[in-house]
Amino acid sequence: MRQLTKTLLTTLTGVACAAATVLTVPAAATAATPRAYDGPGPRSDSLPMTVPSQGGQVGAPARPTRILSLSASATQMLYVIGAGKQVVGVDRYSTWPPGAPRTKFTGGETDAEGYLRLHPDLVVMAYASGTVLKQLQLLHVPTLVLPPAADLAQIYQQMDELGAATGHAASARQAVATLRSYVAGEVRYAAGAGRGRSYFLELSPSYYTATSHTFVGAEMAAFGLRDVADPAGHGNAYPQVSAEFLLGANPTYVLLADTVCCAVTPASFAHRPGFAALTAVRDHRVTGVNDSLASQWGPHTVEQFTTLVAHLLRP
């Protein structure tokens, strides 16, 4: 299995070192009017910068040096784009990279007081209560909310936004280009084997799943695979189906993303009533994966997941 993240980190360390003088913002620059982030495309690494966020426009008046990441996906992005040395804390679910400064924070706190002990000058979150956002805004702590991506394009956009907010726009662009190329390479490796085939992604033994209108669904769609859960979505990207629904849909592949939380295995899945008749069970195409591959949309998990799918399709 190839390891894109090693390549990314090696490449981007060189980019970050080369750009160090550009990324250092003179004190006088902090008083300038922030320019707006204008999306992917040529732009400089200069700050101040204003980046759109779910919680409103986020002004980054200077290169942050004490970043608190409360999103495992954002943590991956920060390290890959070269901002790892600026990170002073990450949430308890941020397991990559292994050396990131993990805390007990979950990202679901309803009070920002605990965060302040780390003196952050930028907080990055996937979810945020109105109370937490208001508290951080009153304390003038820039907070960037990057919610779960709906597709690959949003993953790339979030990497760009983090690059803009942290002073690593150039290395973020390089990371996005490298990740795009990697995903395309894995799709080419699969050689169209997914076309005409279907899959079911299990998020819990109670049959919660993800449709193609999610980041993980977009990854599967890139291989030409059809999500059997789409008809059950009715506007909900993460619907609950039933055993009867799954038996009727009869997917070619089943991916179990509840192996950590619920200890589900291909064997235990196959022993559910009636499931021996499923095509995926008969053809030994039920695969257990780490739960994080379906819940984190950072570049490291995108790499792992696309590699896994490519090799499932073309053993």
Reading the block at residue 39, the tokens are 């999306």
Position 207 scores a pLDDT of 98
Please check whether residues 30 and 111 belong to one and the same domain: yes
User: Which CATH number do you get for residue 266?
Assistant: 3.40.50.1980
Position 282 scores a pLDDT of 98
Distance between alpha carbon 283 and the CA centroid of its chain, in Å?
31
CA 73, 78, 79, 85: dihedral to nearest 10 degrees?
-140
* Sign of the alpha-carbon dihedral angle for 120, 124, 127, 133: positive
Position 12 scores a pLDDT of 42
Domain count, the chain: 2
Eight-class DSSP state of 240? B
Position 250, amino acid: N
Position 297, amino acid: W
Cα separation of 257 and 79, whole Å? 25
Please check whether residues 144 and 46 belong to one and the same domain: yes
Reading the block at residue 231, the tokens are 């008809």
Please check whether residues 45 and 121 belong to one and the same domain: yes
Please check whether residues 147 and 274 belong to one and the same domain: no
Is 118 contained in some domain? yes
Is 309 contained in some domain? yes
For the segment 23-52, the average pLDDT, to the nearest whole number, is: 37
8 Å CB contact between 292 and 301: yes
Please check whether residues 276 and 167 belong to one and the same domain: no
- b/e per residue 57-87 (b: at least 16 CB within 10 A): ebebbbbbeebbbbbbbbbbbbbbbbbbebb
Please check whether residues 148 and 268 belong to one and the same domain: no
Query: In the chain, count of helices (H) and strands (E)?
Result: 13, 11
Please check whether residues 174 and 198 belong to one and the same domain: no
Is 185 contained in some domain? no
pLDDT digits (tens, 9 = 90+) for 241-284: 999 999 999 999 999 999 999 999 999 999 999 999 999 999 99
Last residue of a domain, one of 180, 209, 242: 180
Average pLDDT of the chain to the nearest whole number: 85
Phi, psi of 217 (to 5 degrees): -65, -35
Last residue of a domain, one of 147, 180, 213: 180
CA 281, 284, 287, 288: dihedral to nearest 10 degrees?
80
Is 187 contained in some domain? no
Please check whether residues 157 and 212 belong to one and the same domain: no
pLDDT digits (tens, 9 = 90+) for 171-195: 999 999 999 999 999 999 999 999 9
Position 58 scores a pLDDT of 54
> Which residues span the domain enclosing 75?
4-180
Q: List own/partner pairs for 279-287 with CB under 8 A and 24 or more apart.
A: 279/250, 279/251, 279/252, 280/200, 280/251, 280/252, 280/253, 280/254, 281/254, 283/252, 285/252, 285/253, 285/254, 285/312, 286/253, 286/254, 286/256, 287/253, 287/254, 287/255, 287/256, 287/312
Reading the block at residue 221, the tokens are 């769609």
Is 189 contained in some domain? no
Is 66 contained in some domain? yes
8 Å CB contact between 123 and 144: yes
Please check whether residues 140 and 244 belong to one and the same domain: no
Q: H helices of the chain, where? A: 4-18, 20-23, 72-80, 130-138, 152-166, 169-190, 215-222, 230-233, 243-249, 266-270, 279-282, 292-295, 299-313
Please check whether residues 109 and 164 belong to one and the same domain: yes
Is 86 contained in some domain? yes
Reading the block at residue 207, the tokens are 């049959």
Query: Which helix (H) or strand (E) is 144 found in, with range?
Result: strand 143-145
0.85 cut: is pTM over it?
no
Please check whether residues 116 and 141 belong to one and the same domain: yes
Is 263 contained in some domain? yes
Position 42 scores a pLDDT of 37
pLDDT band at 8 (very low <50, low <70, confident <90, very high): low
Last residue of a domain, one of 157, 180, 203: 180
Please check whether residues 137 and 271 belong to one and the same domain: no
